[in-house]
Structure 1
Amino acid sequence: MSLEKNSELDQANLRVIVAACALAYICVLGFLPGHEVRTYLPVIVYIAVFLLASIGFRQVIARWPGHYSARRVLGMIHDYTGTSFGLVVGGEAALPLYAVMVWVNLGNGMRFGSRYLAIATGLALLALLIIYRLTPYWQAHPFMVLMLMITSTVIPVYAHLLLERTRKASEEAIAANLEKSRFLAQASHDLRQPIHSIGLFTACLREARLGQDERRLVDSIDRSLLNVSQLFHSILDLYTLDNGRVLPSYQTLHLGRFLADLVRQNAEAARWAGVALRLRPCSHWVRADPALLRTMVQNILSNCLKYGAQRPVLIGVRKRGDALVIVVHDQGKGIAPEHLSSVFEEFYRVRQRRDKDVEGVGLGLSIVKRLGELMAVQVAIRSRVGHGTSVCLSGLPQALAPRQACVGEGVHQTGLLTGLKVCLVEDDHNVLLATQALLERWGCSVQAESNGLGLASDCDVIIADHDLGNHATGIECIDQLRQQRGWAVPALILTGHDVLAIQAQLQDRQIAILSKPVHPAELRSSLRELGRAAMSR
């Protein structure tokens, strides 16, 4: 509706402008040598009246927007009547007003479609015939009239062909985009599963007693998997942003614990890079989207580990007015001033010597910038070659600590997983085995199920894949178990599908969600939170 209203209003605005130009042209024409003002006075008066009527017509459209076919046709008749009167009275000198006819014809067709283009063309030909019958000059030049009528026909026909090609190209582009979306959705799910299971199997190996050589092999597998996972997430993040499907979902976060979790999740990658991650303690609470903020900070940390290897990285929080600023500072190579204005562009990388071994395609900071714009968070970067780089995320609004935040704070996290009863529901056999093995190594008691049909459990925590085949979804499985237990058992959804779509389905169920591939440290952190919730019941 808004597109149609705007198109009709735009046409009305242009009508007022053209009428004003036509009035100015006729007024100037009256003062040219060999011309008298009184000759053109009827035309001037008529166009002035036409201009006033056009202004009133525009106000009507603005006051009552919408698609009214009769009003659009009336607008065409109004335009052609005014132009025809000027051409009849003005004679030879008024011929340039014919351009107004062409504008009326094409303007209606381009704005409102081929049907209105055909109506405008018919009215234009009728107007030309009437002018021919009423104007001696035109009757004396029949071939000129024939040329004008041919022009009034050929141009709209050509415009119609262009409109049809544009429409077909637009439909094909929309269809191709939908097909691409379906392909990416399915491909991302199919790729997430093996990456997710490999990560969990690797974590199981790390928990085992390995020799030095075997541990080096596991590290190599983990590093390669981390690079693939980060690239995979970056491409999907970029695709999701391009489709405008990312909307912030704000929550109240303890910023210190939030950043501490990220440091723990990056501990292995930091060890491989020889980087000491240092976090200054922070007791502030903030209002933000945890998933988007995690992606932003994670991308910044990934860059620090890539380009600041063997050097410490400091993460801190500052107060700036009523807002908070997250600062991540590394002591790496730094960025030359000529590159700083371009580092937020997609696929832009600052190439230096020996950087050929640095993984990545230059999407990290681009995604940080775009996510920051979604949350009204300003992203700034300062750097000196040879001294390091600082990235600041400013504008994070402070929040009051929720009352329930103190519950269970005194419980030691290290003991939360030992003996924790987990009901694991996953239809992918490899993922089920990998997740079960890892949870059991963490001390959990696991009930592993490949589907949610007729499920019964005395678990403390539920972990379910969202897509469980044709029989049920993870949400339905959690609802069923909660109904059986008689209380809202803490639950976590693991999914390889669109997280935003699933979050919309969760509504107020109090179910956490993680997107595959899930880093083991992130899974462990989430499981600890669920275990704490189960113990505080």
Structure 2
Amino acid sequence: MRLILLPLFDIYFVAVLGSGGLETFGEWLTVIAVLAYIPVSVVLLWHIIRKPGHFVWRRMLAMMGDYGAMTIAMAVGGMVMLPVYATLLWVTVGNGMRYGSRYLLVATCMALASIAIATGVNVEWRNEPYVVLTLVLTTLIVPAYIDGLQRALRGALNEAQEASLAKSNFLAQASHDLRQPIHAISLFTACLRDAGLGREERQMVENIDRSLQSVAGLFRSLLDIATLDSGKVEPKLAPIRVGEVIADVVRQYSEMAQWADVELRAVPCSLVVRTDAALLSTMLQNIVSNALKYAPDAPVLIGCRRRGNTVAIEVHDCGPGIPSEHLDQVFNEFYQVRERGDRDVEGVGLGLSIVRRVGALMGLDVRLFSVSGRGTSVVISGLERCNETVAAVAPAPTRTPSAVSGLHVLLVEDDEDVLLATATLLQKWGCIVQAETGIPEVAADWDVMITDYDLGGKRTGADCIASVRKLAGRMIPAIIVTGHDETRVLKDLGDDSVPILAKPVRPAELRSVLTTEVVTQHR
């Protein structure tokens, strides 16, 4: 703004003062002072760009320069320079609005000093005492009023932030607490599926499981929003094969795709990008989940495109599309596209909001394109390509109950319903289970431990793993099952090699981890 206003001031000074030929030294001094302040402003702007942030000395230097230039103009120019006062008041209020009450007080004192100096030097101003009094009162009243409004605004903002924090805490706690019974029901359902039921009964169990997965998806969305609101999510960038992340998402949603009668396909991709694999997976999960819900009975395709030194991931569906009037709002929290007569769709409208917010954390751009009657495309662009070599992940072994048969499992869970459900399921798979509601004190010949994160008594799954390994005298393979955010648990655990499963855990997912992460090590 200085670089814009200073040349305009010079034009005004030369036009007004120069009409008489710039005869006095003071008139020349005014024009020279404003011209000299231009390079100073350039240096200030360069320093701000190079080192952004809060520097008291820099702010004070800029304020002294601003008020110094305006003081010289008002002192030398007489009544014809009175319009400069409008800028002086604007600068005073602006400093207070940007930097707070203390700077507003300092700026107001500088403004009063400018008026006092201009009045002392300028005879025309002294001859108009009521004009000077008006300037002084305005300089006092306007900033005081602005300060009062700012204090009220800060109070309202603090209340809004506290309400938002309370909402986030409630969502996180409710999501965590409700996951426990859902997790237990999911495991009991898996036990029922293997209980030799008839065809009709098995279909009922499948319907129950399908409904449970819908509820689980809702809880995941609520926990994701609460975690993002907490401001504790920090991307951990590392080279990954983007094709493997996509393939993993396709595997996770293959069953849901079958329920929706959707052909879910991914174009193979060998590109390596630098990103956070877990956060990228979260984005894709929400996009694919939306496609399966809003575009059933139609194919969904996931693929990648090279864009210079970056990679874009695209998800296309052939569903009914989104009407144009909704496109500007679909990324808002809790917004759902609803038309008269539409069928009910599960969820609360958080998926795309999570996608946009997670993308912003990683510096990715998320765009949505849709044509009514032809389908919708979501594009995640800005993934940085890298040339580092990443080892390909070996294909997981077949997920059969016999693969874990005979394992000695230490199961630690403080919720008795979840403990019973998990132990029953493991026993049906042929495991030998020692079920505990707390950390055991006597060692046994365990092959693997599965522990909840919250164990009561200020003990966590991380404490359990450390204690059991110390008790056994060896690095027993471990799995943590939790209803908390994975980032929080991983930070407390400090060990990337321990798998973390989010409640409610699908039995197939638990069996897969036992097979790939534990059985392999055991053998």
Q: Give the TM-score normalised by structure 2.
A: 0.81
Shift of 1:157: 1.1
Q: How does 1:231-270 map to 2 (within 5 A)?
A: 231-241=218-228, 245-249=232-236, 265-266=252-253, 268-270=255-257
Corresponding residue pairs, total: 514
Q: Aligned match of 1:38 in 10, 16, 22?
A: 22
Q: Retained in 1: the 8 A contact 2:223–2:485?
A: no
Over 3 Å counting, the alpha-carbon distance change for 1:28 and 1:57 in structure 2 is closer
- Measure, in 1, the Cα distance between the counterparts of 2:305 and 2:61: 62
Aligned amino acid, residue 345 of structure 1: F
Letter in 2 for 1:450: T
Cα gap change, 1:151/1:266 in structure 2, threshold over 3 Å: closer, same or farther? closer
Paired residue type of 2:27: V
Which of residues 177, 185, 193 in structure 2 aligns to 1:206? 193
Residue 59 of structure 1: which of 33, 36, 43 is its match? 43
Percent of pairs with identical residues: 42
Conserved 8 A contact 1:260-1:279 = no
In 1, Cα distance between equivalents of 2:100 and 2:314: 53
Query: What does residue 174 of structure 1 align with?
Result: 161
Give the whole-Å Cα distance in 2 for the aligned partners of 1:340 and 1:106.
39
The 8 Å contact of residues 119 and 126 in structure 2, kept in 1 or not, is answered as yes
Compute the displacement of 1:165 (Å). 1.9
Determine if contact 1:26/1:44 at 8 Å carries over to the other structure: no
SS at 1:451 equivalent: coil
Residue pair 1:265, 1:519 contacting (<8 A) in 2 also: no
CA distance in 2, matches of 1:324, 1:69: 42
Q: CA RMSD in A?
A: 4.1
> CA–CA distance in 1 between the matches of 2:305 and 2:120?
81
User: Is residue 454 of structure 1 aligned with residue 447 of structure 2?
Assistant: no
Q: 5+ residue gaps in structure 2? A: none
8 A contact 1:455–1:481 mirrored in 2: no
Q: Which stretch has the larger CA shift, 242-251 or 174-183?
A: 242-251
Aligned to 2:331: 345
Answer yes or no: is the 8 Å Cα contact 1:265–1:521 preserved in 2.
no
Q: 1:369: how far off?
A: 5.5
State whether structure 2 residue 135 is matched by structure 1 residue 151: no
Q: CA deviation at 1:529?
A: 1.5
Q: Tell me: CA distance 1:418–1:124, structure 2 relative to 1, closer, same or farther (3 Å).
A: same
Quote the offset at 1:269 in angstroms. 3.8
Q: Secondary structure at the match of 2:404?
A: coil
Tell me whether 83-92 or 430-439 shows the greater mean CA deviation: 83-92
With over 3 angstroms needed to count, the CA separation of the structure-2 counterparts of 1:46 and 1:463, relative to structure 1, is: same
CA distance in 2, matches of 1:61, 1:380: 33
- 2:429 match: 442
Structure-2 change in CA distance of 1:315 and 1:447 (3 Å): farther
Conservation of the 8 A alpha-carbon contact between 2:262 and 2:296 = no
SS in 2 for 1:517: coil
Match of 1:165 among 152, 156, 159: 152
Equivalent runs, 1:35-434 vs 2, <5 Å: 35-39=19-23, 42-53=26-37, 55-56=39-40, 59=43, 76-241=63-228, 245-249=232-236, 265-266=252-253, 268-273=255-260, 275=261, 289-307=276-294, 309=296, 313=299, 333-335=319-321, 338=324, 345-346=331-332, 349=336, 355-368=342-355, 371=358, 400=389, 402=391, 413-414=399-400, 415-434=402-421
1:29 aligned to 16, 26, 48, which one?
16
Contact 1:344/1:369 (<8 A) preserved? no
| Deviation (angstroms), 1:285 | 8.2
Equivalent position of 1:5 in the other structure: none
Q: Map Cα deviations across residues 221-271 of structure 1 (whole Å, 9 max, x no partner).
A: 223222222222223334444555444445677888866765665455445
**2:412–2:436 contact (8 Å) kept in structure 1:** yes
Q: Is contact 1:335–1:385 with CA below 8 Å preserved after alignment?
A: yes
Q: Residue 389 and residue 103 in structure 1: after superposition, are their counterparts in 2 closer, same or farther (change >3 A)?
A: closer
Aligned residue type for 1:424? L
SS in 2 for 1:443: coil
Corresponding letter in the other structure for 1:528: T
For residues 276 and 76 of structure 1, the distance between their equivalents in structure 2, rounded to whole angstroms, comes to: 64
After superposition, what is the alpha-carbon deviation per residue over 1:173-213, rounded to whole angstroms, capped at 9, x for unaligned? 33333333333332222122122222222222222122344
Asked whether the 8 Å contact 2:89–2:139 carries over to 1, the reply is yes
* AA in 1 matched with 2:215: V
Structure 1, unaligned stretches of length 5 or more? Answer: 1-12
Moved more, 35-44 or 187-196: 35-44
The 3 A distance-change label for structure 1 pair 455 and 188 is farther
Quote the Cα distance in structure 1 between the aligned partners of 2:417 and 2:397: 34
Aligned residue identity for 2:169:
R
Q: Is the 8 A contact 1:334 1:388 kept in 2?
A: yes
